[in-house]
Amino acid sequence: MIVRAKDRTIEVNDRPLVMGVVNVTPDSFFDGGRYATPEAAIRHALRLAEEGADLLDIGAESTRPGSDSIDEGEERRRLMPVVTAVAKAVSIPISVDTMKATVARAALEAGAVIVNDVSALQADPVMAEVVATTGAGVVLMHMQGSPGTMQNAPVYDDVVGEVAEFFRERVKFCVERGIGQDQIMLDPGIGFGKLLLHNLTLLGQLETFVSFGRPILVGVSMKSFIGQVVGRPVEERSWGTAAAVALAVSKGAGILRVHEVAAMKEVVAMAAAITRYAGASARVQHA
C-alpha cells in the first residue's frame, strides 16, 4: 500500500511505520514545554530521525483534553522555524499536526508533505482545498467534540461502527473535493472523545478499519487510558504503550505515532514479524 504525499511516495508494507512526535508546545500532555523553543524542538526531531523514525509529526498547538485553541499567528511562530529547519536536515517525510489551512499551507511550502488534521478537515473549510491542490498526504482522525470538550462524557452506541461510518463519510468528502484516496490515512482517534472502554474496544477491533484499504494510523503513546489500566503517571507508561503498540500492529495498524522512537521501533518490528509469520503459517495450512 502506498501513500502519495506531494512528490513523495510512502510505502506502508509488512513492517508498519513509526512516526515520531515533535511537540513545539508549552502544554502538551506528555512533553509539553520540553521542546517549546525552536532549538530544542529541532534537536529533538533530529534525534528521533537518528533513532529510526520513518516519519516526523510536528505540531505547535496542543490537542490534549481540555486544551484551548491558539491563534494562527502564534501557531505559525512556534511551528515554522522548526518545520523549515527539519525539512532541510532530514530526508524522511514530515507531517504537520494542525487544523488551520493557512498553517498547513505554510508548512507544506516549507517542506512538510502530510497534513495530520485531528478534525478530519472539519475545523477549517479551506483545508480540503489545501490538501487537494498541494497533493499532500492527509490523516483523517475521528474525534467526538473538540479538544476542549471531547472528554466531557463521550457517548457511543457502537463505537467501532460509528467510527467506521465517520471514515466512510470523510473519505467520500475528500474524494468529492479532488483528494485522491491514495493520499488518505485513517486514525480512529484513541483518547479523542473516548472513555476507557471505547479506546480498548477500538484497539481490540482495529482490523475492522483495514477494510477501507488505507493505512491505519494509531496514536496510543503515553495516553491516559494506559494510565487507567496500569496505574502509572504519564512519564511511566512506556511498558503499557509498548503493549498497546504491539496489539495495534497485530490488528493491522500501518503507522504508529509514538514519543519514544527507538524502543517502539523494536516493539513494532517484533510484533510485525510475529504477525507475518502467523499469517504465512495460516496460508500454508489452508493451501
Condensed to tens digits (0 to 9), the pLDDT of residues 132-150 reads 999 999 999 999 876 766 6
- Contact between 136 and 5 under an 8 Å Cβ cutoff? The reply is yes
Average pLDDT over residues 12-36: 79
User: Which single residue is written with the C-alpha cell 503499557?
Assistant: 240
User: What integer pLDDT is reported at residue 120 of this predicted model?
Assistant: 97
User: What integer pLDDT is reported at residue 283 of this predicted model?
Assistant: 57
| Alpha-helical regions (H) of the chain | 38-50, 72-89, 101-110, 127-134, 159-176, 196-204, 224-230, 238-250, 261-285
User: What integer pLDDT is reported at residue 34 of this predicted model?
Assistant: 74
As annotated, the active-site residues are: 223, 257
Average pLDDT over residues 21-25: 90
Domain 2-285 is in which class? alpha beta
* Rounded CA separation 76/248 (Å): 33
What percent of the chain has pLDDT above 70?
90
User: What integer pLDDT is reported at residue 64 of this predicted model?
Assistant: 66
Average pLDDT over residues 115-136: 97
Please, which pLDDT band fits residue 15 given cuts at 50, 70 and 90?
confident
Residue 152: C-alpha distances to residues 27, 34, 66, 69 (Å)? 19, 28, 9, 17
240/26: higher pLDDT: 240
Give the Cβ contact number of residue 80 at 10 Å: 19
Please, which pLDDT band fits residue 27 given cuts at 50, 70 and 90?
low
User: What integer pLDDT is reported at residue 70 of this predicted model?
Assistant: 78
Average pLDDT over residues 183-198: 96
Q: What is the pLDDT of residues 146-184, one digit of tens each?
A: 676 666 778 899 999 999 999 999 999 999 999 999 999
Q: What is the pLDDT of residues 43-93, one digit of tens each?
A: 999 999 999 999 999 998 877 666 567 789 999 999 999 999 999 999 999
- Contact between 199 and 142 under an 8 Å Cβ cutoff? The reply is no
User: What integer pLDDT is reported at residue 116 of this predicted model?
Assistant: 98
User: What integer pLDDT is reported at residue 152 of this predicted model?
Assistant: 74
pTM of the model: 0.92
User: Per-domain residue ranges for the chain?
Assistant: 2-285
